[in-house]
Amino acid sequence: MSELADLFQYEFTRHALVAGLIVALLGAVVGFFVVLRRMAFVAVGISHAALGGVAIGVLIGHSPLAWAVAFSIAVALLMAALGRSGMAEDTAMGIFFPAAMAFGVIVISLSDNWQRDLLSYLFGNILAVNAGDLRILAVTGLVVSLLVAVFFKELLFISFDEESAHASGVPVSAMRTMLLVVTAVTVVVAIKVVGTVLVAAMLVIPAATATQLTQRWQWMLLLSMLFGVASLLAGLVISFLSTVDVATGPAAVLTATAFFAASTYIGRLTLGRVDPLALPEPLSRTDDPAPFPIDE
């Protein structure tokens, strides 16, 4: 324990801790809606599509993270446009995911020093997070949190029943677009911590774990945040204290997977649930006269 405490006297370990907490909380909140809307493949696709933006930044020598944000938002907006035309989100992602990856591979091949710069974005390097990265994470986390807080009811409503939400006057199309953009931004800013290969796991696994243990959305959201933070902290501790070179991102993802396996077993014993993503009973009521039947 004293060895772990000594580690956090260094600035780079404190930066890593703060960055991990921000990414874990942000990913858990956004992942809550990703899992409810069954957008896991979309999150995975956006994380890999970000490679195209990273490749552009590496090639021209200008902020790969900024280019990845712009590139991912553009992909999310194109997906939303196709969604408005009637195409399913996963189908649209099936188009843009390989296209963006192929574009990234071609751009990477044009760069002479891609290997050193690109590997940290593929697999993450939380110990390389600096004060500037923390500012970007903090600002992004604040903006995303405010958007989710302001439109929480609407996002929750469309996550369970888009048709009823539309009939109640909720701008479903705008909410879907905003959720796609928020997901894209969250995925990209978390790349520095866990990398493009694993970042989607930090959105999906903690939220999916929470669905195994409760049927109430309030507890789902809280447990998703707790599991996300616990997984990142465990990944940091394993990375710092391991006698072999263990990266934080993979350690955090494997810890989150272990939480999921344990919660699935516990959930089957206590809840006897068949579908882990079945609508919670309080959210499926139709006799509530309020415009948002999920208010309770």
Average pLDDT over residues 167-196: 83
Q: Is 152 helix (H, G, I), strand (E, B) or coil?
A: helix
- Say how many CA atoms lie within 13 Å of 235 toward its Cβ: 34
Across 122-126, 217-221, 260-264, least confident range: 122-126
Side-chain-side CA neighbours of residue 268 (13 Å)? 6
Band of pLDDT at residue 119, cut at 50, 70 and 90: low
pLDDT-wise least confident of 65-74, 96-105, 108-117, 286-295: 286-295
For residue 28, is it within any domain? yes
- For residue 274, what pLDDT is reported? 44
Model pLDDT, residue 113? 59
Whether 77 is in a domain gets the answer yes
Per the structure, the count of domains in the chain is 1
Instruction: Return the top range by mean pLDDT from 29-33, 266-270, 278-282.
Output: 29-33
For 187, residues 6+ apart whose C-beta sits below 8 A from its C-beta are 43, 46, 47, 50, 72, 199, 200, 203
| Domain carrying residue 61 | 2-283
pLDDT for position 230: 92
Alpha carbon distance 220, 223 (integer Å): 5
Neighbours of 120 (CB within 10 A): 15
Per-residue pLDDT, 73: 85
Q: Could you tell me how many residues make up the chain?
A: 296
Residue 47 carries which side chain, given as an amino acid letter?
S
Phi, psi of 200 (to 5 degrees): -60, -30
- What does the pLDDT average to over 40-48? 77
- CATH number, domain containing residue 78: 1.10.3470.10
Position 11 in a domain: yes
Residue 276 has pLDDT above 50, yes or no: no
83 closest CA partner among 73, 97, 74, 93: 93
Residue 115, pLDDT score: 56
How distant, in Å, are the alpha carbons of 65, 112, 201, 212, 244 from that of 191?
8, 22, 11, 27, 23
The alpha carbon torsion through 33, 39, 45, 46 (nearest 10 deg) reads -30
The model carries a pTM of 0.77
In a domain, 296, yes or no: no
> Under DSSP, is residue 286 helix (H, G, I), strand (E, B) or coil?
coil
pLDDT band per the 50, 70, 90 thresholds, residue 146: very high
pLDDT: is 169 or 10 the higher one?
169
Tell me: the pLDDT tens digits for 224-249?
999 999 998 888 888 777 767 777 77
Could you tell me if residue 181 is inside a domain?
A: yes
How many Å apart are CA 193 and CA 178, to the nearest integer? 24
The answer to whether position 292 is within a domain reads no
Query: How far is Cα 203 from Cα 212, in angstroms, rounded to an integer?
Result: 16
Q: How confident is the model at residue 112 (pLDDT cuts 50, 70, 90)?
A: low
- Range 138-166 average pLDDT: 87
pLDDT of residue 114: 57
pLDDT reported for residue 68 = 81
Residue 260 lies in a domain: yes
Asked if the structure places residue 155 within a domain, the reply is yes
